[in-house]
Chain A
């Protein structure tokens, strides 16, 4: 079991899918959560489902960095230092290369990459992060290391995240902040439901067929994330963990 007793973890994308499952599992292991997401109803549903106490939720677009900073500061003032960060917020676009304009790259990179690094920066400051150490986990994707047609923007955003954390891990080691990436294959969430609706049936079947153990569940990924947040992973940093039911094998 992953023991997260007493840890304060901020989770982006907590209103849905993998972020929600991470929040629920982390709470069941004793953590208290700061949940961020845009959809109030779904975010509140995550909040209401959490075991334990000391949780907070904020309906916010995570690219509003001024507001994110205010939330972090006031949360630390009230509840104490941050011990972990999980960046699960993300957007996926299936766009053929001939339509992949810089504006679309910016839109996806803003959430998947820039917001992840900016929130990590805000959380890693003195007086915010626990001086005894912390763990940042970024939900990347197996798309960081393998392509699919129509995925130039998404794949490159996840690659940027996956490689970026390696540099981050080196810089933050002095503060005992560990940084790792988790690279899931196809997981049964709203994102995948939307993706499957937007691609031809053959493309959907071909993605499913490439997962020898089938499509994953959000809890499968959450377990690995909770391990990486926990002190049991104290010697792990700068690494990427593929969890994909055999997709990339």
Chain B
């Protein structure tokens, strides 16, 4: 998956309202980023990257970029 596809697929999966997110969008600025969204992110990453993130790891992420780093840049295709 490419990073920009990741941003759009994850946003769609979490049902975030605005659709024009970038890698720099801060999660906290998103309307609808709540505890269920955190569970959704964990489920999305588990399903797509076979990786179990913890809630405390997710507490530390700021924007989509930091989530990409947490998952590992090598897991993404070049743009």
Contacts and interface: CB of A to CB of B under 8 A. Distances in A.
Interface stretch (A20-28, A120-128, A193-201): A193-201
Interface string B32-68: 0001101110111001000011111011000000000
Nearest to B14: A98
A200 B13 contact: no
Residue among A94, A98, A199 with most chain B CB within 10 A: A98
Given A98-B13, A99-B13, A201-B59, A149 B54 contact: no
B36 A96 contact: yes
A64 interface: no
A204 B59 CA distance: 14
Interface residues on B, range: 10 to 19
Given A98-B15, A99-B13, A99-B47, A200 B40 contact: no
A96 B40 contact: yes
Contacts, number: 46
A95 interface: yes
Contacts of A202: 35
A167 interface: no
Contacts of B47: 99
Interface residues of A, number: 15
A200 B55 contact: yes
Contacts of A203: 35, 55
Nearest to B54: A197
B36 A198 contact: no
A94 B56 CA distance: 15
Nearest to A101: B47
A150 B39 contact: yes
A204 B35 CA distance: 11
A204 B36 CA distance: 13
Contact of A199 (B15, B35, B44, B52): B35
B30 to A, nearest CB: 15
Contact of B42 (A149, A198, A201): A198
6 contacts: A94-B39, A99-B44, A150-B39, A197-B56, A199-B55, A204-B55
User: Which 9 pairs across A and B sit closest by C-beta, in order of nearness?
Assistant: A99-B43, A197-B54, A200-B35, A150-B39, A96-B39, A200-B55, A96-B40, A95-B43, A200-B38
Given A197-B56, A199-B55, 7 more contacts: A94-B42, A96-B39, A149-B35, A198-B39, A198-B53, A198-B55, A200-B35
